[in-house]
Structure 1
């Protein structure tokens, strides 16, 4: 099962259609190719899935989801935590 992770937009490069997003303290680049015509601004929350911004979401919804993710991650061992936050290529 795959999950979309709420992430905060910290930078937008409109020329390359790439956003830099912060996911639980980890910054990464994400493609805006699938977002359509929805206008994004720095500070917006989005759902991130496999390197693509899927859609803009409400800040309250994002913060509630991130709290649930934190609770789940707190119960994991260290290797699983790293993989969940940074991705499998980080091991």
Structure 2
């Protein structure tokens, strides 16, 4: 199963046009936005992130819906959304 997590675009990486910084549930991560090069991404946009790549641009409503689904899924497995967004060690 593939799992995409919504992240809010909070910055771009200078001198690396395919990289950006997103906020995922309070955690900031660098991701590759090269697949969305033609989407005209701006600070504040929401993207669906999977293994470090932005796969699609989302509306704020879509991002909220996905986050709600992930929270429900996490409660069902007793880990919460933090278990989904925690970096692997």
Q: What is the TM-score normalised by the length of structure 2?
A: 0.82
Greater than 6 Å deviation, 4+ residue runs:
none
- Aligned length, in residue pairs: 88
What is the aligned partner in structure 2 of residue 70 from structure 1?
Answer: 71
Cα deviation code 1:17-76 (max 9, x no counterpart): 211111122211001121131111111100101101112111101111101111222343
Q: Give ranges in structure 2 of 5+ residues lacking alignment.
A: none
Q: CA RMSD in A?
A: 2.0
Q: Give ranges in structure 1 of 5+ residues lacking alignment.
A: none
Distance in 2 separating the partners of 1:21 and 1:73 = 21
